[in-house]
């Protein structure tokens, strides 16, 4: 069977193809979304920690620190305090 010869596309076919590609909704790959969300979270986290430290009282800071220490110890011991 002889090979088919493709005719080159004319200008209107190229234009139709370009419009079709630009209008189509292509799903954003999950990795790109994850990267963007991680960057957004990092920005807020950098600001939030300092702001939280400034607004907490000494008792609240002490309570948060002991809660964090208990959580760390629970990871190593395998129990929750």
**Domain of 63, in residue numbers:** 41-81
Instruction: Determine, yes or no, domain membership for 35.
Output: no
Q: Which tokens is 56 given?
A: 């907490």
Instruction: Determine, yes or no, domain membership for 10.
Output: no
| pLDDT higher than 60, residue 61 | yes
| pLDDT higher than 60, residue 78 | yes
| pLDDT higher than 90, residue 59 | yes
DSSP 22-54: HHS-PPPPHHHHHHHHHHHHHHHHHHHHHHHHH
How do residues 13-54 score in pLDDT, each as one tens digit? Answer: 889 988 888 888 777 778 888 888 888 888 877 778 788 888
Instruction: Determine, yes or no, domain membership for 64.
Output: yes
Q: Is 78 left (phi over 0), alpha (psi -120 to 50) or beta?
A: left
Instruction: Determine, yes or no, domain membership for 33.
Output: no
Whether the CB-CB separation of 56 and 64 falls below 8 Å is answered with: yes
Instruction: Determine, yes or no, domain membership for 11.
Output: no
| pLDDT higher than 60, residue 81 | no
Q: pTM, whole model, 2 decimals?
A: 0.39
* Count of the separate structural domains present in the chain: 1
């Amino acid at each position: 069977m002889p090979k088919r010869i493709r005719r080159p596309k004319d200008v209107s076919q190229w234009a139709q193809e370009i419009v079709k590609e630009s209008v189509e909704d292509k799903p954003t790959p999950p990795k790109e979304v994850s990267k963007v969300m991680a960057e957004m979270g990092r920005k807020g986290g950098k600001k939030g920690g300092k702001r939280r430290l400034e607004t907490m009282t000494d008792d609240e800071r002490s309570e948060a620190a002991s809660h964090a220490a208990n959580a760390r110890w629970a990871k190593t011991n395998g129990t929750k305090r």
